[in-house]
Each structure stands twice: as structure tokens, then as C-alpha cells.
Structure 1
Amino acid sequence: MESKKRRGILDRLNAGEVVVGDGGYVMQLERRGYVKAGHWTPEAAVEHPEAVRQLHREFLRAGANVIQTFTFYCSEDKLEISGNVSNISGAQINEAACDLAREVANEGDALVAGCVSKTPCYVKSHSETKVKAIFKKQMDDFLKKDIDFFIVEFVDHVEEAEWAVEVLKTSSKPVGATLCISPQGDMHGVPPGECAVRLVRAGADIVGINCHLDPLTCIRTVKLMKAGLENAGLKAHLMIQPLGFHTPECNLGGYTSLPEYPFAMETRAMTRWDVHQYAREAYDAGIRYIGGCCGFEPYHIRAIAEEVSAERGFLPPASEKHGLWGAALGMHTKPWVRARVSWID
């Protein structure tokens, strides 16, 4: 399909539509042998584009409206300290990732989000000038490829997220900003409501939470952000892209502090039924951009798309194959399996 003018992210959200985000990339690609655990850097966009392309395509087929560029941790300082022995530059990764995301997004009615994440430079220097220069360099790479909007993700200090938003808003693109924080606030103890206010005042059009903690915990945090905005008389769209694992401990460190992280998280994985519950609770909380982060596989994204299919007015193509809410089980040869169709809903 040739690239054509699509309705933008704010057009969709302003109209009250539900936007389904895509899922996680670094952990899924690490499990497939394309990303190094611990470093979590995205050289695979250049080294193994077919793997990244396929994961994009599976998320699109599952019902995602947005394809994020595989550019997590793609700042030059992070690539350097992670031992980027292949000498692939951040610009090469950013541009290749944009091309892959655009190629797949054009296969459906999806938008491309150029994504930036936290930088080692912030914790090391706390230099606004240096950190903003890093974000400016990434932004310039993305603008060469004309992405649809920006997402600031996986930032646990609101100050750094503010700086990122301020840089990205110098473009004409909408900006979403998601923090990986708990209901207790960011790593400096700034409460979620105050974080949201600061992000919107910095220029963010969409605010929310991503990664580190399970979906229901993240919903609690977004609710606190929403309340903070309301108390301040500010408005912004809400988004959520949580962890795809159960983390009932709900500590500030999130899942990285669990003994199972990162190689034994399978026993904590969300089921598709868990994700149906999450999508419904997120929608009921007023969140209209609903996706996932680490641990969210394509079938989880499909569960989101199915749960909000009535609100969206359609099902993703994948549901025609597997049968909404297990209805296809009615064709099973075992009667006790067929009987499950009656209690699934």
C-alpha cells in the first residue's frame, strides 16, 4: 500500500476514538535472539531488519493503530556504554527503524511514532544542555523520515521527560510522554499528579505510564495523573502501555528488581483474559490510548483490540482466524472443551 495522508493521532483521540498501541520489542526480540539482555539496545533494526519487520507486522495484524520505531535506548551515550562493538551509529538505527515502521504501518491504517527514552547522561550529569542535545539529535533523525508523532517513554525522572518534551515540541509533531513510575511517584518522589501537570505544561499532548509495573497498577497511576490534571485545570489525552507481567510487589524498582528478571519472567506473564480485564478497566478510567510494553506479545494486543471492538466498530483481522473470545472452541472434537464456549463470556 502506498503511503497516504492518514488522520493524525490527535484527530483520532479528539474524536473519542480508542487507539490501540503496539506491544514490547526489546524483550521479545531478546527471546528470539536478536537483542542482548542487559543492554537492551536496538542494533537489530540495522542488523536483523526482517525480525523487527515481522514483529511490527504481527502487532499491526493484531489490531494496533500505532507502530513505534524500534529505537529504545538509541542515544549515542547509551550505545557507547552498552559496548556497541558493531559501530552502528544511533542515526543509522533511527533511520532504519523509521523505514521499517513506516513500511509496516502503510500496510494498514496505522501511524508511526518516533520514540525516545531516558539517557545515561541525565543521571550522570544532570545537564539540561547535554541531555537536550541528545534528544535534539534523535528528533532530527526522525524528522528526516517524517514520522507522525513522538513518544517519550521509559523515563523515571519527570525532569528528564520534561526536557525531552520541550525539545520535541519544537517540531510541529504531537508529543506523548509516558513515565515508568509507580503510584508513589518518580525516582525523586514527585507524585504522579504533579508529574502529569509538569509534562502538560512542558507541551505534552498525551501523558501516561509505560513499563515497569503490571497493567492494573499502571492504571492506578494514570488515574492519579488524571486527577492531578483536573485539579490544575489542565487537559491532555491519557495513554497507558504497561508491563505484560504480574508484579504485585508494586515497588519503586518495578520488575527489574524481581529475582525472575529478565530470564525467568514467563511464570508471571499476563494471560489474554488478564489483558481483556486490563483493557476494559483502562477504557472505563477514561484512557483512550491503550497498548503494552515489555511482555506484551501480539496476542495480548489482539486481546485489547477485541475487548474494545464494540467501541472501535471493528475487529482485527487476526480475530477472524481464532474466533472472538474463543467462539471457535465450539468446533472442538472434545465435548468438555466445546462446553467452555458457554462460560467464556
Structure 2
Amino acid sequence: MKRSLEQRLQDGPVICGEGYLFELERRGYLQAGSFVPEVALDNPQALKQTYRDYMLAGSDVVLAFTYNAHREKMRIIGKEDLLEPLNRQAIRLAKDVAKEHPEEEALVAGNISNTNLFNPEDPQSIESVRSMFAEMVGWCKDEGVDFINGETFYYYEEAKIALEEITKQGIPAVITFGLMGENVLRDGYSVEEACRLLEGQGALVVGMNCFRGPATMQPYVEKIRQTVDGYVGALPIPYRTSEDHPTFFNLPDGGCACSLPTDTTFPTSLDPLYCNRYELAQWAKEAHDIGVNYIGLCCGASPSMLREVAETVGRTAINSTYSPDMEKHFLFGTDNTLQPHITSYKAKA
């Protein structure tokens, strides 16, 4: 039998590949802007291949792609009738792929997320959010997920509701926050205090995901690690955020030579602002060294980036066989059978 999430956490770091939202948009199967995962119904084979690519790159988890697949978002795009079929299909596809892992069946995680509806001053919105989470968690329970990942919350109180609904169903919970440029959650809690509270309420893993790159997420991850006793998760975006621009929502691109269709580089013009895989590896080492247990990448991540993270913390991915090896490169290789009249050009190339 496959090990549970808690068992794997006890044995060492767990790798979780996220980033499907941007990756599937990049592959041409998802609309930027609305960012609704209709791909589960429209192109299930494309979604399965994306799941597969992240799993083979080192992810211990196949995260069902139901981010934004909640009733409020489906209402906005006028497709509430697709809500339940989409959620169930995304989980079933994830389960199919998880069984393909050649060494140990991958974990399957359900997924609920920020609703963009929650308003602490509006009791009706609070009840609507609870109802939305309850139905999604119920479908996760029916479909037999191993745990539920509640993510990208920027209100503590919304995350608390998510945890309550997950706990009611007896399912392990990973809860992570998206911290905006205010550097506190929207209802005034520090992210480390919110994580401490959720840990006390039964979350198996607490931490952060999305919005921030390694440089501007790591200081807060360190605070969380110092504040909580249990397992800590960190899944940054792979972009070069800075103190002046701590999230990817307003990252400038000083080298851009064209006019952009949006006011900022987010979400479709972020390409020049990527961290390279070695910067991500450096972050992964720092996170692992301070005791982060649940490690991954979020929006913008590619499988090769995730593989670098996994290898950095001591894991060998199925697709590590394709990790870079420059020994036989025609120009930069060191193999003594390469043509010296070509390799001599490397200083001038």
C-alpha cells in the first residue's frame, strides 16, 4: 500500500508540483484571464499529460486541477452546470496518472482555493464561501483523495473555513497562504500567526504558496518555521520578485521593447522575469536546510524546474535520467572524443 502524506513527511521532504494554471495556458489549453480549468472536460488527455510530466519530474503528489473550479468562478463565466463534472473529472484523471508511477503510487490531492468572494464584513459571503468549500470537499471525499490542498488564501478567516470543512470529512489538510504586497493577510494577521493558529486547529501542513518568488517568500517561510512545531510547506512562483515588487502582480520589465496589452507584465508577459533553475535550486536548499518539509513550485513552474528542486533536496526523479549532462556537448563538452577544432571555438562562440 502506498504511504500516506504524513508517513512520507516523516520519512523526508515531500515534493509537490503545482503550476498547472500557467503551464496549461502556455501549452494552449487554458484561457489567461478567467483562468478556469475547463481543460479537465475539454482536453482531458492534455491535463493527464501535464499531471504526468510533473509527477515524473519528481512530484510525490498529483494535485487535482480544480483551482478556480468553485461556484463563484463558474458563475462568473456562466458555466455553473459544469461545476461538479469538472471537479470529479479532474480528480479521476489525477487518480489515473498517480497509479502510473513506476516506483510508488503518487498521492492524489484534492484542491480548494481562494474564492475572491470572501468578505469578513459580509455574513452572506462567509456562508457562501463555506457552502462552496463544503461541496468541493464532499466531491473530494466521494472520489477518495489522499488529502486536500487548500491554497492561496489571503484571508486567515477564509483559510480557517476551508480547514473546518476539510476536517469535518476526516481528510488530512495542507493549508497555504498567498501573501500580497501588504506583507500581512488582508484581515490583519501575520502569515506566521495564521499558520500557528491553523496548525492548532488540525492542519497537517501549513505554509505559503504563489504570489511571491523565492527571494520575497523565504523570509516569511523562515518566520513560519520558527513559529510552528509541525510540517511547513513552501511553494513560490519561479519569478524574480524583489523588495520593491514582492509579488508577480506588478513586476516591471525594463527591457521590454513593445507595448503590453495589460497594465503590467502579469499574467502573460512574465517570461523575461523567470528565475533560472539554479536559482530555484539554491532556494530549495535554503528551504530544506531550515526544515521546510513540503516543497514545490507554483504558477509559472515547468517540470524541469521542479526536477531541479527535487534533486537539490536529495530526491531522484523518474525523469532525472534527462537531467543536464554537458560532457558530450559539441562545444562545451569535456569528452576526449569530441572534435578539438570545434571545442576550441567555445571561447569565441
TM-score range, shorter chain: 0.7 to 0.9
Which of 3, 10, 16 does residue 14 from structure 1 map onto? 10
Task: Summarize the alignment of residues 64-103 of structure 1 with structure 2, pairs less than 5 Å apart.
Answer: 64-81=59-76, 83-84=77-78, 88-103=81-96
Task: Give CA-to-partner distance per residue, 1:157-206, whole Å, 9 cap, x none.
Answer: 11100110011011221101000015822123311221112211332110
Aligned to 1:149: 147
Q: How many correspondences in the alignment? A: 318
Q: Which amino acid aligns with 1:330?
A: E
In the other structure, the counterpart of 1:216 is: 215
Cα pair 1:23 1:298 within 8 Å, conserved: no
Q: Which amino acid aligns with 2:56?
A: R
Q: Could you tell which deviates more after superposition, 137-146 or 212-221? A: 212-221
Q: 1:243 aligns with which of 237, 248, 265?
A: 237
Counterpart of 1:113, as a letter, is A
The aligned counterpart of 2:257 is: none
Distance 2:215 2:135 in 1: 35
For residues 279 and 187 of structure 1, the distance between their equivalents in structure 2, rounded to whole angstroms, comes to 28
CA–CA separation in structure 1 for the residues paired with 2:37 and 2:25: 10
> 1:343 maps to what in 2?
none
1:197–1:214 CA distance, 2 compared to 1 (3 A): same
Equivalent position of 1:316 in the other structure? 317
Please give the per-residue CA displacement for 1:63-122, whole angstroms capped at 9, x wherever unaligned: 1101100000111111111x145x652211110000111111111131011010011331
SS state at 1:139 partner: helix
1:297 to 1:77, Cα distance in 2 relative to 1, 3 A: same
**What is the letter of the counterpart of residue 210 of structure 1?**
N
Give the corresponding residue for 2:39: 44
1:1-345 residue pairs with structure 2 within 5 A? 5-15=1-11, 17-81=12-76, 83-84=77-78, 88-108=81-101, 109=104, 110-123=106-119, 125-126=122-123, 127-181=125-179, 184-229=183-228, 235-249=229-243, 251=245, 254-258=247-251, 259-309=264-314, 312=315, 315-322=316-323, 326=324, 328-334=325-331, 336-338=332-334
Question: TM-score if structure 1 supplies the norm length?
Answer: 0.87
Hey, what's the Cα distance between the residues in 1 that align with 2:188 and 2:244? 15
Contact conserved, 1:196 with 1:226, CA < 8 A, in 2?
no
2: CA distance, partners of 1:59 / 1:278: 19
Match in the other structure for 1:232: none
Q: Which moved more, 1:25-34 or 1:139-148?
A: 25-34
The residue matched to 2:40 in structure 1 has which SS? helix
Question: Identity of counterpart residues, as a percentage?
Answer: 29
Distance 1:280 1:6, change over 3 A: same
Query: By how many angstroms is 1:249 displaced?
Result: 4.0
1:228 CA displacement: 2.6
**C-alpha separation between the residues in 1 aligned to 2:143 and 2:186?**
34
Q: Which is worse superposed, 110-119 or 217-226?
A: 217-226
Greater gyration radius: 2
The gaps in structure 2 that reach 5 residues or longer are: 252-263, 336-342, 344-349
Code of the residue aligned with 2:112 in structure 1: it is V
Q: Tell me, yes or no, if the aligned pair for 2:57 and 2:304 is still in contact at 8 Å.
A: yes
CA RMSD of aligned residues (A): 1.9
Q: Aligned with 2:239: secondary structure?
A: coil
Q: Secondary structure at the match of 1:21?
A: strand
Instruction: Name the aligned partner's letter for residue 64 of structure 2.
Output: T
Structure whose residues are more often helix by fraction: 1
Secondary structure in 2 matching 1:186: coil
Larger deviation: 134-143 or 25-34? 25-34
What letter corresponds to residue 27 of structure 1 in structure 2? Answer: F
**Cα distance in 2, alignment partners of residues 135 and 84 from structure 1:** 19
Task: Please say which of residues 257-266 and 160-169 is displaced more in the overlay.
Answer: 257-266
- CA distances 1:218-262 after superposition (whole Å, capped 9, x unpaired): 221111122233xxxxx220011111111114556x212332111
Aligned partners of 1:43 and 1:181: how far apart in 2? 26
Q: Secondary structure at the match of 1:166?
A: helix
Higher mean C-alpha displacement, 112-121 vs 194-203: 194-203
State the SS of the aligned residue for 2:157. Answer: helix
Pair 201,250 (structure 1): closer, same or farther in 2 beyond 3 Å: farther
